[in-house]
Chains A and B, each alone.
Chain A
């Protein structure tokens, strides 16, 4: 093991320029606790991409590929998964990575009181360590989504030694096995990671350190990039695209995200669902017809995002082509309203977070809906209040989105199944439940799509959620940086990325 480290170090030393290269990346907000089991933020995941390796990763096409797990086979009956993990991997504190470490990690994710990963790993009943580097995951029931879960925080491997010692305070000094190890953190100021010399794929890493800087203001973020104070930023605002593209010293790449933004209607959550909007699907369909999704994308997002009418963007393999995005049809919307008994129009209250983009979006939506006779009252609330009200059913319609998951199940199941964990709309339909549950169990992609399409037909008709657009993750960076690829999950992967002086 030691001579491997020396060789790696020599190779790395020869490959790198003499001066220590620090990569400065600006994030839209500050990460929360740096413990993959407790973490809840999107930017937290970006930090983990450099700090913590996962069992499996994804390609830009959403194929699942090995990272710490080198191969895996799902049993015939779907009740277990045999996995082989990589040898020669070491955690930042020197602990060896092996099958036992994987088992310990899964156990922590499932049993730690504060763990947010429990529902993600709920189908794993137990883990059998069958060899130093082989293990078997025993499932409660066949579940096609397990490997995709392991491609995110649930599959991030933490050093069992450190996790044991620190317990719930692991996040104050995280120890994983990724390309960089934890250096220091000053809340709301910076997170510094240092190159891990013993990383199993150290050749692919070309920086000595990575510094993450939370800079919420989009103009200031771009200003910093243009002045050279930072090297890369995530989530460039679409309205800054023109300026960034005009600057020769900046490269811009983007990928359509896995998530969506739209309007959720209260159709069954408490008494506020007892309104025409909650009871009559024609009104919701009318609302959808009143929307000009292309115009929304143009006006609010400079055409940089993707219009949407399903939980997945239309470039996704899971998109149901039977229901393409329809053009705006104000006449049809009015007709539906009249049919439902509202020829003179109807009022609708939509709650929205009091931040710039949602407000801008809703004002455009309000304007469009008005032409079809739907008079929208925008109630802006602080995010904290909005979430609480939504969860309690204290709303008529809510502008809310989802950041998206690799597996299609993650974008739909918990929102529309009867007992779904985030089913704030209160939607309940036994056929949808059956189809979505079946889609979870069936391993074959085509068979799963059939189930999702079945559900889609009902959901387009009932429209408890009206989807409007899919954000694109737009990353801008110094044009001397090469080798960077934009992924639909918005993560910044630094393997193979270089910054020439």
Chain B
């Protein structure tokens, strides 16, 4: 946002701004996206800084201070065995963000290659991959995640794997679709004509051109994954107590809605803000990277 970095401020006027800067400018002006980015960065920051922030230990129990309303000593109150809700919220950010990023990471790392292969080679490879993908997509996402998490056992890691696997078909289908529309482009034809190996064509020519929608989808799927992890924790399948996790905090809090509503309020708001952040960010990215004008 500073003029010094604006290429147009130079003495030689540049009638055609570089593509990346056009994207960044679009993004910058997109209010929602900036808001989203700010929210995401805020939570990443507190998740990383958790160990050094001046907050009580998230697992320090205190029999005398069970379910206390918010006060100076405990800004967001205490939970059912006397732990500080604010501290648990901040440390819980680690679990939620990790869950979001890692599961989408799994989904992308597994899904994109399959999508590439299916889209590029077509034929029976495509048929098989597509059938399997459709089958997985037809099973409701959360039910698949629950079954997988139950199979693997209740833990944060297993929840991430379960969500990652459940989200993989989305990326297979997306990548495949994008590859299909890109592989008929001229530059791909020329690359093939000069005899470049397939691997190079895929990685140098096709992948970069399908990266944009994948990035957008990944951002939006992180949002879904965070909610999925909270849902699994809510059902008792994600991060297990005493380690803090927003979903499991909500699971416990629902038994104390009347006596201690702050236990349910803050984790819920946190989830909402983080997920909103990623959704706004993904939205902004989509608009910025979209070659067409709306």
* A interface SS class: helix
A445: which B residues are within 8 A, CB to CB?
none
Give bound CA distance, A355 to B63, whole Å: 21
Q: Are B242 and A239 within 8 A (Cβ)? A: no
Give bound CA distance, A378 to B59, whole Å: 13
Give bound CA distance, A430 to B154, whole Å: 39
Give bound CA distance, A298 to B82, whole Å: 12
Give bound CA distance, A367 to B59, whole Å: 9
Q: Are A380 and B236 within 8 A (Cβ)? A: yes
- Segment at the interface with A among B12-20, B210-218, B254-262: B254-262
- Segment at the interface with B among A270-278, A356-364, A420-428: A356-364
Give bound CA distance, A219 to B255, whole Å: 6
Q: Are A354 and B236 within 8 A (Cβ)? A: yes
Instruction: Output the nearest chain B residue to A379 by Cβ-Cβ distance.
Output: B240
Give which listed residue, A242, A366, A381, contacts B259 with CB less than 8 A. A242
Whether a CB of chain A sits under 8 angstroms from the CB of B241 is: yes
A366: which B residues are within 8 A, CB to CB?
242
B80: which A residues are within 8 A, CB to CB?
239, 300, 360
Q: Are A356 and B259 within 8 A (Cβ)? A: no
Give which listed residue, A299, A360, A364, A382, contacts B154 with CB less than 8 A. A382
Whether a CB of chain A sits under 8 angstroms from the CB of B56 is: no
Whether a CB of chain A sits under 8 angstroms from the CB of B237 is: yes
Give bound CA distance, A364 to B237, whole Å: 21
Q: Are B61 and A364 within 8 A (Cβ)? A: yes
A359: which B residues are within 8 A, CB to CB?
240-241, 252
Instruction: Output the nearest chain A residue to B237 by Cβ-Cβ distance.
Output: A354
A299: which B residues are within 8 A, CB to CB?
63, 66, 81-82
Q: Are A354 and B240 within 8 A (Cβ)? A: yes
B237: which A residues are within 8 A, CB to CB?
354, 382
Interface residues of B in 48-85 (CB under 8 A from A): 61, 63, 66, 80-82
A295: which B residues are within 8 A, CB to CB?
63
Instruction: Output the nearest chain A residue to B236 by Cβ-Cβ distance.
Output: A354
Q: Are A381 and B81 within 8 A (Cβ)? A: no
Contact with A along B245-269 (1 / 0, CB 8 A): 0000001101111110000000000
Q: Are A378 and B154 within 8 A (Cβ)? A: no
B102: which A residues are within 8 A, CB to CB?
none
**A299-B66, A378-B240, A382-B154 known; A364-B259 Cβ under 8 A:** no
**A360-B81, A380-B154 known; A219-B258 Cβ under 8 A:** yes
Q: Are A380 and B240 within 8 A (Cβ)? A: yes
Give bound CA distance, A295 to B62, whole Å: 11
Give bound CA distance, A443 to B240, whole Å: 49
Give bound CA distance, A300 to B82, whole Å: 11
**A299-B66, A380-B154, A381-B153 known; A356-B255 Cβ under 8 A:** yes
Whether a CB of chain B sits under 8 angstroms from the CB of A479 is: no
Shortest A64–chain B CB gap in Å is: 37
Give bound CA distance, A299 to B236, whole Å: 22
Instruction: Output the nearest chain A residue to B63 by Cβ-Cβ distance.
Output: A299
A300: which B residues are within 8 A, CB to CB?
80-81
Give which listed residue, B63, B242, B258, contacts A240 with CB less than 8 A. B258
B154: which A residues are within 8 A, CB to CB?
354, 380-382
Contact with A along B3-30 (1 / 0, CB 8 A): 0000000000000000000000000000
Shortest A446–chain B CB gap in Å is: 41
A380: which B residues are within 8 A, CB to CB?
154, 236, 240-241
Whether a CB of chain A sits under 8 angstroms from the CB of B180 is: no
A367: which B residues are within 8 A, CB to CB?
61, 81
Contact with B along A374-413 (1 / 0, CB 8 A): 0000101110010000000000000000000000000000
Q: Are A298 and B258 within 8 A (Cβ)? A: no
Q: Are A363 and B61 within 8 A (Cβ)? A: yes
Q: Are B153 and A239 within 8 A (Cβ)? A: no
Shortest B282–chain A CB gap in Å is: 32
Q: Which residues of chain A have a CB within 8 Å of any CB of chain B?
A: 217-219, 237, 239-240, 242-243, 295, 298-300, 354-356, 359-360, 363-364, 366-367, 378, 380-382, 385
